């Protein structure tokens, strides 16, 4: 394709409508037509990145291969499109301002007054175009975070307005709104959508396509009414009603020809057919699965489904490939102890101990791991979960009383998990963890090696503490093996207990690298072991 096409996705009425899923689903459809697609997100908050936000504020923090802490929507983009995103795919207002202010301090503005328009908007536009300018993509989909009408999204909407002029036919605006059902009146209401589109129009943008989020399918009348009031073609009012799985959304949009409408509006000839064969197979497996696999996820944010988003999706993908329904149980680590571990865990087929920071709920994680270890139940520790595995093993197998991570107890006698050398003199908390993909060399014949079927892998990290190599010999002599090592630094990336059926901890986050097309090998291996436990 000659020119890169830019599609913008804005949201109205309320947040949490699933703009990221709609953007990813449209991306999937364009990709399924043979186009090269990437998706980026612009977040209007002042933080430089979400790395310093806690999960209550922002859900999971996703990490790209090149080491950027990003919004969790990037996880959806990767899982749907089976692509790798990068630093360029997630920009915040904080970063935009930082760039502009740095330029001002350098003297780049030659004595001019620095203003939101044009300087901030120019920097936003420059960032929007970065991926497109590489020539690697036919379509760049840009999701604008927040809701139209928010004070903080104004510069973004203004940048999109300007780009529409500059890009002409190569630019398309999609607005996602909400159509609520009012139970007392037994009616759906389009007024919020009308208001939201009006707000967008006041800011100079006429959307080309509207996506209406609704609980139940809407009548044609309702869609036509919206089209009439909002100056949008009838066929360009698409509905996105609730479906049992987010992975069905591309099919919902395809049935309404959203891909063709986008192509027509952008003047791209419609060629070939929409190839969603593999995607449909995956969905069919998901629906056809009768037996389930019961996994317990032990963490401290159980009331917050977004906190462990990528782990949930990785487990679901692996279960689906094994033709099982994922029966996921969230177990609050603060409510778990040695007394109730049996009651809470005995019926599970496998236990996954979640990543995290700080000591809250830590004892519960030890209790879960001790139970799994003593009852030979498949157990998977991810990042902090791996560190907990090491600490529990140190205390209860190696007999190192009160062994700990120096994150939790800086004065512990047995620092089996300790701050990485490179972290020791750091004063700045933002963006300074060990982040992104690193090499890991696997021990032949380990479970990890057999799962990946390869000796050298690369997985993504987000941590400050590490396995203390001073204790390596002692652990190995007592049955916990270090089966994955970073070849450059010698850092331990994987521990396993070969005497048990499946007991593994990874310092890295395999969940960041698991897509519908390509589920992560360790999740596949873990689910397989859990299924073998299954007493159904």
Positions touching ligand GLN (CB under 6 A) are 355-357, 383-384, 407, 462-465
Enclosing H/E stretch for 322: none
Dig out the tokens for 344 from the structure.
């809470």
DSSP structural state of residue 151: G
The minimum distance between CB 295 and ligand GLN, in angstroms, equals 18
Cβ atoms 262, 256 nearer than 8 A: no
Return the structure tokens found at 492.
């331990």
d(CA 385, CA 259): 42
Q: Which of 230, 383, 388, 482 is catalytic?
A: 383
Minimum CB distance to ligand GLN, residue 475 (Å)? 18
Shortest gap between Cβ of 345 and ligand GLN (angstroms)? 21
Query: Toward ligand GLN, which CB reaches closer, 350 or 356?
Result: 356
Residue closer to ligand GLN (CB basis): 10 or 387:
387
Give the nearest distance from C-beta 401 to ligand GLN in angstroms.
22
- Residue 462's φ and ψ, nearest 5 degrees, are -160, 85
Could you give the CA distance from residue 508 to residue 464 in angstroms, rounded to a whole number?
Answer: 11
CB of 386 to ligand GLN, least distance (A): 8
Structure tokens at 274: 């929409």
Closest by CA to 331, choosing from 288, 290, 367, 378, is: 367
Beta carbon nearer to ligand GLN, 210 or 383:
383
User: Catalytic annotation on 509?
Assistant: yes
First and final C-alpha spacing in the chain: 52
| Chain center to CA of 536 | 32
d(CA 333, CA 301): 9
Report in angstroms how near the CB of residue 420 gets to ligand GLN at its nearest: 8
Is 511 a residue of the active site? Answer: yes
Secondary structure letter of residue 486 according to DSSP: -
DSSP-derived pairing of the beta strands 415-419 and 404-405? parallel
Spatial separation of the C-alpha atoms in residues 470 and 459, rounded to whole Å: 24
Q: With CA atoms as reference, report the closest residue to 491 among 474, 510, 508.
A: 508
Give the integer Cα–Cα distance in Å for 143 and 314.
23
Task: Please report how close the Cβ of residue 506 comes to ligand GLN at its closest, in angstroms.
Answer: 10
Three-class secondary structure of residue 43 per DSSP: strand
3 state SS for 77-120: HHHHHCCCCCHHHEEEHHHHHHHHHHHHHHCCCCCCCCCHHHHH
Closest separation in Å from C-beta 357 to ligand GLN: 4
* Secondary structure (3-state) at 500: coil
Using a 10 angstrom Cβ sphere, with 0-12 exposed, 13-18 middle and 19 or more buried, the burial of residue 406 is middle
The encoded tokens of residue 312 equal 């949930």
* Burial letters 357-391, b for 16+ CB under 10 A, else e: beeebbebbbbbbbbbbeeebbbbbbbbbbbbbbb
Min CB(463)–ligand GLN separation in Å = 3
Sign of CA dihedral 350, 355, 360, 363: positive
- Strand pairing class (237-241; 325-332): unpaired
Rounded least distance, CB 131 to ligand GLN, Å: 27
* Exposure of 182 in the CB half-sphere (CA atoms within 13 A): 8
What letter would DSSP give residue 414?
-
- Give the catalytic positions in this structure: 383, 509, 511
């Amino acid at each position: 394709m000659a020119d890169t096409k830019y599609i913008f996705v804005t949201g109205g009425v309320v947040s949490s409508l699933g703009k990221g899923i709609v953007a990813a689903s449209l991306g999937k459809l364009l990709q399924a037509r043979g186009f090269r697609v990437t998706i980026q997100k612009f977040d209007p908050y002042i933080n430089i990145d979400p790395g310093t936000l806690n999960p209550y504020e922002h859900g999971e923090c996703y990490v790209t291969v090149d080491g950027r802490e990003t919004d969790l929507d990037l996880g959806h983009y990767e899982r749907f499109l089976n692509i790798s995103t990068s630093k360029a795919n997630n920009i915040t207002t904080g970063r935009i301002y930082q760039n502009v202010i740095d330029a001002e301090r350098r003297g780049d503005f030659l004595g001019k007054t620095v203003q939101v328009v044009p300087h901030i908007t120019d920097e936003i536009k420059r960032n929007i175009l970065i991926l497109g300018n590489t020539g690697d993509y036919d379509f760049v989909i840009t999701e604008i975070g927040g809701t139209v009408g928010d004070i903080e999204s104004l510069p973004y909407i203004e940048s999109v307005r300007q780009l529409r002029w500059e890009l002409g036919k190569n630019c398309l605006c999609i607005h996602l709104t909400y159509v609520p059902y009012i139970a007392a009146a037994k009616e759906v209401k389009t007024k919020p959508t009308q208001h939201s589109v009006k707000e967008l129009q006041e800011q100079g943008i006429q959307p080309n396509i509207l996506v209406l989020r609704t609980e139940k399918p809407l009548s044609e009348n309702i869609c036509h009414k919206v089209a009439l009031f909002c100056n949008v073609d009838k066929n360009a009012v698409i509905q996105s009603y609730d479906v049992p799985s987010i992975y069905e959304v591309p099919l919902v949009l395809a049935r309404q020809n959203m891909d063709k409408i986008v192509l027509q509006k952008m003047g791209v000839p419609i060629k070939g057919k929409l190839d969603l064969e593999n995607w449909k197979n995956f969905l069919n497996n998901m629906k056809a699965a009768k037996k389930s696999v019961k996994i317990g996820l032990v963490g401290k944010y159980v009331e917050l489904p977004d906190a462990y988003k990528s782990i949930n999706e990785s487990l679901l993908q692996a279960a689906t490939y094994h033709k099982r329904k994922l029966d996921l149980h969230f177990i609050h680590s603060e409510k778990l102890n040695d007394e109730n571990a049996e009651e809470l865990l005995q019926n599970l087929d496998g236990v996954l101990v979640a990543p995290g920071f700080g000591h809250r709920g830590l004892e519960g994680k030890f209790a879960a791991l001790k139970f799994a270890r003593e009852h030979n139940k498949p157990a998977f520790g991810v990042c902090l979960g791996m560190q907990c595995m090491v600490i529990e093993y140190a205390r209860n197998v190696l007999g190192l009383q009160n062994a700990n991570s120096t994150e939790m107890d800086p004065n512990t006698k047995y620092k089996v998990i300790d701050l990485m050398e490179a972290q020791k003199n750091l004063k700045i908390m933002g963006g300074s963890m060990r982040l992104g993909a690193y090499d890991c060399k696997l021990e032949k014949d380990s479970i990890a090696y057999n799962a990946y079927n390869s000796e050298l892998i690369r997985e993504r990290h987000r941590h400050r503490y590490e396995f203390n190599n001073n204790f390596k010999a002692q652990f190995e002599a007592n049955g916990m093996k270090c089966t994955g090592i970073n070849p450059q630094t010698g850092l331990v990336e994987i521990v396993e207990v070969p005497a048990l059926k499946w007991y593994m901890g990874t310092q890295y986050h395999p969940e960041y690298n698991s897509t519908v097309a390509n589920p992560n090998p360790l999740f596949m291996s873990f689910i397989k072991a859990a299924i073998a436990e299954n007493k159904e």
